[in-house]
Structure formats: C-alpha cells, structure tokens
Amino acid sequence: MAGEKAGNGASAIESPESREIPYWRLLTDQGVLTQEIIDHHYPGSGTAEDPYAVTWLPQDPRNPMQFSSKKKWTYTMVMAVATLAVALVSSAYTGGVLEIEEQFEIGTEVATLGVSLFVLGFAIGMSSSPFPISRP
C-alpha cells in the first residue's frame, strides 16, 4: 500500500525511503503522510488529560522553518498570486453583467445571481476549511 494512490484522488502513504517530497505536493497536498510520521513516537497518551504533543520530526522536509529564504518567498508569491486571482475572478464577472442581461434576456436580479453565488461559495468554503479561522 505504501506509495500507492488512492482511487478517489486522495494521497495514500508515501514509501518510507522517500524523504524528499516534490515542491508541488508541499503546496497542494497538505495531508502528505509518510511511514516515518506514522511510526514516530509523539509525547503524550492521546487522552483528554494527556493529549499527543504533535511536533515536527527531525529533518522533516515539510518543516517551513528549514526552508531556504528563496523557497519561502516562492511559496508566498505563488499563494499570493492564486489568492489574488480568485479575488479578481469575482469582480471580472460583474464587468460583463450588462452584456449577460442582453445576451440571455434576463433581469438584473438574475444576472447578479452569478456573483452572489460565487460569494456564497466563498463563505461556505471558508466555513468548512480544514484551517478554521480563530474567532475571539
């Protein structure tokens, strides 16, 4: 099973001899799981009174504190451009609302439904994010 891809597109366990993880996996697959991670002894017993203390493994290739400055800035810029592109897509639709109304012979309410659903999808996506936003 080690190193195989799951049928649903999710990643399976990486082989134990491969410590190197491709750069694109570090950005796109936040659930990379290696045999080394599974076999590591984490402090704690996993109970409510004594939970596991999850830390970085020694020489972990996913630990961003060990990345070079060039790699950190590259990842930062890639994610910034991706975030900017998503934000601009919502406003790109609104620029063509008049043409959409004419082409499909619909009213303003129906034409703005596209951007409304886009923003609603944003809200639902953020609320179901694996990285929840902490609230005071």
Q: What is the pTM of this model?
A: 0.50
Residue 106, Ramachandran bin (φ over 0: left; ψ between -120 and 50: alpha; else beta):
beta
- Write out pLDDT tens, residues 38-94: 888 888 888 889 998 888 888 787 788 888 999 899 989 988 998 888 778 777 888
- Write out pLDDT tens, residues 48-63: 899 988 888 887 877 8
39: nearest Cα among 2, 64, 71: 2
Q: HEC states along 79-90?
A: HHHHHHHHHHHH
For residue 70, report the phi and psi dihedrals to the nearest 5 degrees. -60, -45
Domain ranges of the chain: 1-62, 67-136
Residue 3, Ramachandran bin (φ over 0: left; ψ between -120 and 50: alpha; else beta):
left
Facing residues of 11 across strands? 5
